[in-house]
Structure 1
């Protein structure tokens, strides 16, 4: 069988013939991989820059869509085995049935990005009011775009998106948009008003300015998810004293993989309802040509 293999951290994965897998154990299921996405975490692991990168040789990929030997279409999680492979043997608990009618390419490309907002809502927020308002910082990122749909599926009435690209913001179906100014402290957050939750994929100076500008009369639950614009901010004590603001993070340390597994079936149903997203599709055999040229695309490999 064939896999994409990284033999040196940061190296472009090579399309490599490897020995067939051993027979699955009674606790495992063999999956014929159909499609697997190259998410941000996948690239970070393949570069050796992620805490879960493991050891070399490394097979990229953390999840995918496949078919069991019984002919069932499934979504699977495969941090240890990778997913850019023709076949994987996985524990039964790492596999969930794919809802009927789901596009496997869309599911392979969007389930992982959707997980960030899904788990933020389900594990890092509490007692959100009916018809809540959410502010998504980094709304034009792959995860930010689907966060809009996830928020609406969970009861958001007002969704506000923040990003640099005004034209891209207008394609997402937001209720309001805020464009990040070239000089960040000129960004106008005055229209935000009352907001219940902030999902932040950007962090850095944008978030520092948002905290300074926040004027919500309601309690605000802020959830840090990504750091596209910086790893650090300074939060003056006056902000914490003067605003009803709860600060949390969401990631695989803030919730466990067991927590995520319990939420996957609901997530897959939500992903099925997300409007079709732009995805670059390539064959696994072309991984060496496509891996770097598609850096800005949502990339899915088919086997």
Structure 2
């Protein structure tokens, strides 16, 4: 059958210029495979950085874009059992999900709750577990504790607000511009602050003497130090990105005199060191929350596969109010 995918053979500074939708011939599923119609696949910041060549790990070229998504099984090889046609499935990571159809190993497909929104489920693999794990892996937080994060208007930031609320945690949510406040509050955040040199003072007016032991940083630059200055003695800053394009900057005095710790988090490393059963338990928990509508991400726009250039340009734009999602078979 004729299918389409978003393919690129080079990388460059303008990400939408290097990728395009092309037809390819999809054969019947081979032994152990199932054919999946891709229903939705998001464009993450890491996807854009991969196109420009700035991400930490780059796939060999040529390659197909897209790292996560959701699809529906349309066919399966004769030796595949327990995966009925019509089953909604989570696609394996880094499978080239910006495609209308894929042949994938059946054992790599995770069945999802029927009837759930595939667009919301398509974002399940990367951002929600990133938020989920950063709230779990570094500091032993208890209900009532405070957490501060910047880039609160990002996809991870929105999930973090919702997950923290489920766990009874209080969040302080930092953004870089005034016009981002409303969107963060719409995600359920009570306290939203614009970054600045006086951030610690404003934080203390909210929390009083309560300790703030965990800070989540996706911006880098001096914003990292602004978060560190808000922490109680012995607190931890976890960095998972550099939206400012700058390295994390923290004065040594915070490490030496305040015992502040700076750590990094990359979901790929967690995948490598975590047993499969534990990974599946995390995904099952998150999928349940998404399917029940308790965990959602803002979506700015959906694009068909033939609109891949416009979609990448929109995802690379600096001031969005939600995720850009590829719904491959959507009419252009």
The TM-score, its normalising length taken from structure 1, stands at 0.85
Q: CA deviation at 1:258?
A: 6.2
Give structure 1 stretches of 5+ with no counterpart. Answer: none
Q: In the aligned structure 2, how far is the partner of 1:93 from the partner of 1:206?
A: 43
Per the alignment, residue 274 of structure 1 pairs with: 295
1:53 has 2:58 as partner: yes
Q: CA deviation at 1:245?
A: 3.1
Residues 1-303 of structure 1 mapped to structure 2, 5 A cutoff: 1-10=3-12, 11-21=17-27, 23-26=29-32, 28-68=33-73, 69=75, 70=84, 71-79=86-94, 81-92=95-106, 94-109=108-123, 111-122=125-136, 124-156=137-169, 158-170=170-182, 171=185, 172-181=187-196, 185-192=197-204, 193=207, 194-211=211-228, 213-214=229-230, 216=232, 219-252=234-267, 254-257=269-272, 259=274, 261-262=279-280, 263-272=282-291, 273-275=294-296, 277-296=298-317, 297=320, 298-302=323-327, 303=329
Matched positions, count: 294
Q: CA deviation at 1:189?
A: 4.1
Q: In the aligned structure 1, how far is the partner of 2:246 from the partner of 2:324?
A: 25
Is the contact made by 1:153 and 1:270 (CA closer than 8 Å) also made in structure 2?
no
Q: Deviations for 1:150-191, whole angstroms, at most 9, x for unmatched residues? A: 2222331x111011223422433223222123xxx3445442
> Alpha carbons of 1:261 and 1:95: their partners in 2 closer, same or farther (altered >3 Å)?
farther
Is the contact made by 2:212 and 2:230 (CA closer than 8 Å) also made in structure 1?
no
> Alpha carbons of 1:246 and 1:253: their partners in 2 closer, same or farther (altered >3 Å)?
farther
Which is worse superposed, 269-278 or 197-206?
A: 269-278
Q: Give the secondary structure class of the aligned counterpart of 2:149.
A: strand
> Alpha carbons of 1:261 and 1:22: their partners in 2 closer, same or farther (altered >3 Å)?
farther
Is the contact made by 2:26 and 2:102 (CA closer than 8 Å) also made in structure 1?
no
Q: CA deviation at 1:76?
A: 1.5
Q: Give the secondary structure class of the aligned counterpart of 1:36.
A: strand
Q: Give the secondary structure class of the aligned counterpart of 1:18.
A: strand
Is the contact made by 1:136 and 1:200 (CA closer than 8 Å) also made in structure 2?
yes
> Alpha carbons of 1:228 and 1:93: their partners in 2 closer, same or farther (altered >3 Å)?
farther
Q: In the aligned structure 2, how far is the partner of 1:105 from the partner of 1:47?
A: 25
Q: In the aligned structure 2, how far is the partner of 1:111 from the partner of 1:59?
A: 18
Q: CA deviation at 1:20?
A: 1.2
Q: In the aligned structure 1, how far is the partner of 2:231 from the partner of 2:135?
A: 22
Give structure 2 stretches of 5+ with no counterpart. Answer: 76-83
The TM-score, its normalising length taken from structure 2, stands at 0.78
Q: CA deviation at 1:140?
A: 1.1
Q: Give the secondary structure class of the aligned counterpart of 2:69.
A: strand
Calculate the aligned-residue CA RMSD, in Å. Answer: 2.6
Q: CA deviation at 1:268?
A: 1.9
Q: In the aligned structure 2, how far is the partner of 1:256 from the partner of 1:126?
A: 20
Q: In the aligned structure 2, how far is the partner of 1:149 from the partner of 1:196?
A: 19
Q: CA deviation at 1:62?
A: 0.2
> Alpha carbons of 1:169 and 1:101: their partners in 2 closer, same or farther (altered >3 Å)?
farther
Q: CA deviation at 1:3?
A: 0.8
> Alpha carbons of 1:174 and 1:90: their partners in 2 closer, same or farther (altered >3 Å)?
same
Q: CA deviation at 1:23?
A: 2.6
